[in-house]
Structure 1
Amino acid sequence: MKTTRHFLGFTTAILVAALLLPSFLNEAGPSYKFAYKQAGLTEQQAAAHLLNRFSYGPKAGDIDEVVKLGLEKWFEQQLEANQPDQILNTKLNSYDAINLSNAEVVSKYPQGGLVRRMAEKEGIMIRDTSAQGKRDSREKLQAYMQQKGFKPQQELFRQFISQKILRAAYTENQLQEVLTDFWFNHFNVSLNKNQCAEFIPAYERDVIRPNVLGKFEVLLLATAKSPAMLTYLDNFSSMGTNEEMPQSMNEQAIRRMQSLSSSRPADTAIKARVQKAKSSRGLNENYAREVMELHTLGVDGGYTQNDVTQAARVLTGWTINPAIRAYGNQMQKPAKRGPKAILAQKGFVQEGDFLFAANRHDTKEKIVLGRKFAAGRGYDEGVELLTMLARHPSTASFISRKLAVRFVSDNPPQRLVDRMARTFSETKGDIKRVLIAMTASPEFWEKEALREKTKSPFELAISAVRGLNAEIVMPYQLYTWITKMGQKMYYYQAPTGFPDRGQYWINTGSLLNRMNFGLALASQRIPGIRFNLASLNSNREPESAEAALLVYSKIIMPERNLDETIKRLTPMLNDPNLSTKIQEAASRETPKTEMNSGMMNEDAQIMDETQSTLAAQKQKKAKNGLASIQSSPGNNTMLAQVVGVIIGSPEFQRK
């Protein structure tokens, strides 16, 4: 009996080790097997499910390629995220702003209000509220920006948004890009907040994307040190209030900031920050609260308001290196030559754009979640706090559930979440191993989970262009439609990020806008998106609209039972006024929610820009005697309407 127990225990240990051992040590391939056959799925159906959840939708031929490679092997390659991306890199070459450092962004794309103050200080502009004065001011401001080499921030944001669309559509490392979207949303920051907006491109590039498949605590610590997060949740200004804090050191730090900017014409911003530093001494709990409620433990994670206050005290002094606010390289040199060694001796820590300002730190003892943080440990207290939160059992459950909601269903089985949470705890937050635990579980493959998730507007747009094998020449034009469908990327104001449940995205108005998008895309009325519908069907023209619906439904929505969908869509095929009816219905039905009303003015401007571009293209084509957009090669009007109806259908909204 004892021998049997020992054998069973040894066997269990071997199985657990096989699951947790990194697959790159197993030359025979991944040590796990997907349980799709037990769920009654064919290999092709299982491949389609993988692509729908871990990519932005399958392109023609993707399912066959995954089957040929092997489902587990494909997933393993995606976990490694090192597939070559020549096409994507070529398309990104023209975007010169997306690789700038934070300091370079601040220097080249300063905030509009700051530029105006600089121009006024130099006597280039004077305040004049008359209509003529405003026009003159705009012209003078543009000339001043050109003289100084400044560019408008909107150009930076346009490039940033465009690169996200291109990455999602073209990257071979699809899982990494899907997770970049997931984790950015989890650690949300918003372009709506001007103070942090300029730091957001580097935040996604340097903080989020490189860490999406690593250890959770590494990702958490990187976000905590990011200028974008420090500014978005105001921790950059948080300061201890203990009486024995050396205020003279504060004055020394302020004088150092002043000396860095004394010779620069752009020192207005630095002086403003100096004044703010003098006047804003006090504890700010915003980040401490959100790091517990939203980033780690969850709202029911077992912390109290006192824990929030104590954690905020631990994190005092976590701020931004003032050198990145410098305008020009001259500001960087004195910062590098400064008394860094002396500051280090006094407990200051500088890591790139992050600064732990020891003179702003609460030096007294704190207690968070029952753990004592001894007095006077400085920067290490914050690292210990964030590591503790990252490894907490509540965090394991909260993050595992959030991953399961994103990749399995809006209401994932508790047994699956528990299994993922155990893996999270056992591996100290290894995101790869948690994803493997999820996909190796039978719950991931159950038929109830198939196509249970609803695509966000961004996912809808990208999956549509991928499914049509489209070439994206003007990615920002897609953004205008994504915004119209209800998702203004990077502009979600609340730290929660966009909700990840279907009920948030789907209502009568949004469905009509989605159908309108499908028709506009298929008829090539979205500038800068090119494709050939006929080539998707090997240039074989269907005999009728009904035949086209059947053929293209299978091409665009592979490995699905489409009987009910085809029956539902058939009556819409031959209505010549379908697009007009949908536009009219959408204008009547789209609710003016808080999110929609907050973006109405800018959306209108964006859509006007799209329509202007479209009108210009039509005029040019008419002038040159070319065919209309609707009748471009391989895209006749009937076929375009059929494909548009498919993309706008409820079935295509699901993944």
Structure 2
Amino acid sequence: MLYQGKKISVFFLFFLGLCFSYAQKNPEVFPYKAAGLSEEEAAIHLLSRFTYGYNVNDVGQIQKEGLERWFFRQLRGKATDKELAEMLEPYADAMLDNKTLAEKYPRNTRVRRMMINDGYIPKDSVINGSVFFKEAYKNYLAEKGFKPEQELYRKFIAAKVLRAAFSANQLQEVMTDFWFNHFNVSFTKPQSAPFIPSYENHVIRPRALGKFDELLLATAKSPAMLLYLDNASSVAERPNAKNKIGINENYARELLELHTLGVDGGYTQKDVSEAARILTGWTIYPLNGYGNQNLIKQITKGNEVQRQSLIEEDFVFAANKHDKRQKTVLGKDFENNGYDEGVELIFYLSSRPQTARFVSKKIAVRFVSDTPQEALIDNMANAFLASEGDIKKILTAMVYSPAFWHRDNIYSKVKTPFELAISSVRALDAQVENPNRLINWVTRMGEKKYYYIAPTGFPDKSSYWINTGSLLNRMNFGLSFTSNKASGINIDLLELTRHHEPESPEHALDMYAKLLLPTTDIVTLKNRLSPLLTAQNLQKKVAKSSGADLHRQDEDMLAVNTRKINNRNRKSNNAMLAQVVGLIIGSPEFQRR
């Protein structure tokens, strides 16, 4: 066995420190040859792990640039994205700050109150499903210059699709998705939902390749997280107070269990309670319709309280709501120090060996295998601690480890539905004409982005994503993706072959397999797909077998486009090519990364 699981040496850590320059001209060569991989196989492995997919041109370009130089360039995350910026212009609202979004996209509950207060409708007319109320609601938004919440969410998710598919900073996008899942919040909680676009765009993405402690602190102060896990309402207990709101432990528990130490991190329920007391008074700025509208007046009543409180954009530390007694977490005492007390806790948890190991393992599961070797996790955790949580150095320790390149780990991960959809776009150089149609397919395949209700985020294990039903849905997606526009994309399949049209389905399978799966075992792929190459009404049959017939819109679109395709004769796509390429996308070989 090529990798025996030896712990990283002191010399290797020292060496990493010397060679780790993000702009270095001659970085140390990755150890893929020792694993028996060719440069092409290594390039594909890098692209499979650190991007949302690739095509054959990408494989050639990364070899030309040098695998190591490409990786360190991706770590910088500074590539110019002019074309992507143009694509994102129609969805620019998704990048707005929380204050602007709260004014432009008010919550439905706030709009209803405003309509009643303005005398626009009587109170007993507020029946959400009624035609009268829907029309009145629409007209009121137009008159006031407001926009519906759902429009913001559609723009945000559409921008997510375009960034994943076309960003030149692919590693940054992959890590943004990883960290969002690690610090999960969900549209299923109405109070936090409007703040999720800013949470990903302004809190996570800029720090996705930075320092873990800074990322952790930023998420802790985000309105999306403060509301999702209820810390915004957590205040010191007042024995004689009329309002018995008190301390809420939800965020403190997930901070220890999910964000830092891990479930086996050695903390107790007492530690959770003490951490919750430290974080009392961490809440959101009272934006339009959100938070305690009297908060600012309360915290600025007296000079002493005013000095102790803190206002940072949409975050507030309310000193008058903070527990001022001594606390102890993991044996460490925390004296009353206001806001700084919470920051000290965040940084303390970030520096724990348990945190280094827990976070490193999650990264290894995402980028190496479902069951990463213990020595690899040790290496990454050592890099975490030595660099004080520098995400770039953790990833570098991982990619220079022999375990990353072990042949058993090549194509060992299963793509999520989102990864499958985006990798299909990238593999086929497709144009995304309607990102929301594409995301609808992702939802049908079992991944409703930003709607995972539990704070754990989506599981990152193959067993969660793969079963008979999901495989059929994925095959259904592949056939839909290439044969009609119901997926919101446009593809010129013959453009990929420089307009050399295959002579037969078998020839087409040969040609497109080399383009989409350049290192796959073509014999195995042929044996698997050949019986389906010329099957009639295949998409309808697959959809029926999956237990969900084609949506009527998709069926109509399929019929119309099939007629158009057949009428084109030798121009661009045809039904045969669409079926062959759709089968490759739906194959087990394309499902893996």
1 CA distance for matches of 2:392 and 2:282? Answer: 29
Q: In 1, are the aligned partners of 2:483 and 2:558 still within 8 Å (CA)?
A: no
Q: In 2, are the aligned partners of 1:523 and 1:629 still within 8 Å (CA)?
A: no
> Which whole-Å deviations, capped at 9, do the CAs of 1:104-145 have from their partners, x for residues lacking one?
111111111221121112221124579999222221121111
Change (3 A) 1:445 1:626: closer
Q: Give structure 2 stretches of 5+ with no counterpart.
A: 1-8
- In structure 2, the partner of 1:178 is 174
- In structure 1, the partner of 2:106 is 110
- In structure 1, the partner of 2:592 is 654
- In structure 2, the partner of 1:23 is 20
Quick check: 1:365 aligned with 2:326? yes
- In structure 2, the partner of 1:549 is 509
Q: In 2, are the aligned partners of 1:107 and 1:326 still within 8 Å (CA)?
A: no
- In structure 2, the partner of 1:484 is 444
Letter in 1 for 2:251: Y
- In structure 2, the partner of 1:253 is none
Change (3 A) 1:367 1:326: closer
- In structure 2, the partner of 1:312 is 276
1 CA distance for matches of 2:221 and 2:100? Answer: 18
Change (3 A) 1:23 1:629: farther
- In structure 2, the partner of 1:203 is 199
2:352 aligned to 365, 369, 392, which one?
A: 392
2 CA distance for matches of 1:629 and 1:126? Answer: 57
- In structure 2, the partner of 1:635 is 573
- In structure 1, the partner of 2:371 is 411
Q: In 2, are the aligned partners of 1:36 and 1:46 still within 8 Å (CA)?
A: yes
> Which whole-Å deviations, capped at 9, do the CAs of 1:505-557 have from their partners, x for residues lacking one?
11111100000000001112425311111111121111211111111111111
> What's the RMSD between the two structures over aligned residues?
2.8
- Cα deviation for residue 345 of structure 1 reads 4.5
> Which whole-Å deviations, capped at 9, do the CAs of 1:567-601 have from their partners, x for residues lacking one?
1111111111321211110017x9xxxxxxxxxxx
Change (3 A) 1:347 1:324: farther
Letter in 2 for 1:636: N
- In structure 1, the partner of 2:523 is 563
Change (3 A) 1:521 1:378: same
Letter in 2 for 1:571: P
Q: TM-score w.r.t. structure 2 length? A: 0.93
- Cα deviation for residue 629 of structure 1 reads 9.5
- In structure 1, the partner of 2:341 is 381
2 CA distance for matches of 1:632 and 1:351? Answer: 62
Quick check: 1:401 aligned with 2:394? no
- Worse-superposed segment, 176-185 or 533-542: 533-542
SS in structure 1 at match of 2:283: strand
1:162 aligned to 151, 158, 164, which one?
A: 158
1:348 aligned to 309, 319, 325, which one?
A: 309
Q: In 1, are the aligned partners of 2:376 and 2:401 still within 8 Å (CA)?
A: yes
Q: In 1, are the aligned partners of 2:310 and 2:316 still within 8 Å (CA)?
A: yes
Q: In 2, are the aligned partners of 1:51 and 1:57 still within 8 Å (CA)?
A: yes
SS in structure 2 at match of 1:496: coil
SS in structure 1 at match of 2:35: coil
Change (3 A) 1:584 1:77: same
Q: In 1, are the aligned partners of 2:260 and 2:358 still within 8 Å (CA)?
A: yes
1 CA distance for matches of 2:353 and 2:502? Answer: 57
Q: Max radius of gyration: which structure? A: 1
Q: TM-score w.r.t. structure 1 length? A: 0.84
Return structure 1 stretches of 4+ with deviation > 6 angstroms: 129-133, 616-619, 628-632
- Cα deviation for residue 563 of structure 1 reads 2.2
Q: How does 1:563-642 map to 2 (within 5 A)?
A: 563-587=523-547, 612=553, 615=556, 633-642=571-580
2 CA distance for matches of 1:26 and 1:478? Answer: 36
1 CA distance for matches of 2:444 and 2:87? Answer: 25
Q: How does 1:219-230 map to 2 (within 5 A)?
A: 219-230=215-226
- Cα deviation for residue 632 of structure 1 reads 9.4
Q: In 1, are the aligned partners of 2:478 and 2:585 still within 8 Å (CA)?
A: yes
Q: In 1, are the aligned partners of 2:106 and 2:146 still within 8 Å (CA)?
A: yes
1 CA distance for matches of 2:227 and 2:395? Answer: 31
Change (3 A) 1:630 1:426: farther
- In structure 2, the partner of 1:251 is none
- Cα deviation for residue 340 of structure 1 reads 9.8
1 CA distance for matches of 2:259 and 2:220? Answer: 10
- Cα deviation for residue 211 of structure 1 reads 0.4
2 CA distance for matches of 1:387 and 1:131? Answer: 48
- Worse-superposed segment, 487-496 or 547-556: 547-556
2 CA distance for matches of 1:425 and 1:632? Answer: 60
- Worse-superposed segment, 534-543 or 307-316: 534-543
- Cα deviation for residue 102 of structure 1 reads 0.5
- In structure 1, the partner of 2:419 is 459
1 CA distance for matches of 2:189 and 2:244? Answer: 19
SS in structure 2 at match of 1:409: coil
1 CA distance for matches of 2:275 and 2:377? Answer: 28
Change (3 A) 1:630 1:201: farther
Q: How does 1:245-284 map to 2 (within 5 A)?
A: 279=243, 281-284=245-248
Quick check: 1:78 aligned with 2:38? no
- Cα deviation for residue 395 of structure 1 reads 0.3
Change (3 A) 1:133 1:481: closer
1:217 aligned to 193, 205, 213, which one?
A: 213
- In structure 2, the partner of 1:526 is 486
Q: How many pairs align?
A: 583
Change (3 A) 1:509 1:132: closer
- Cα deviation for residue 312 of structure 1 reads 0.3
- In structure 1, the partner of 2:386 is 426
- Cα deviation for residue 651 of structure 1 reads 0.8
- Cα deviation for residue 402 of structure 1 reads 0.3
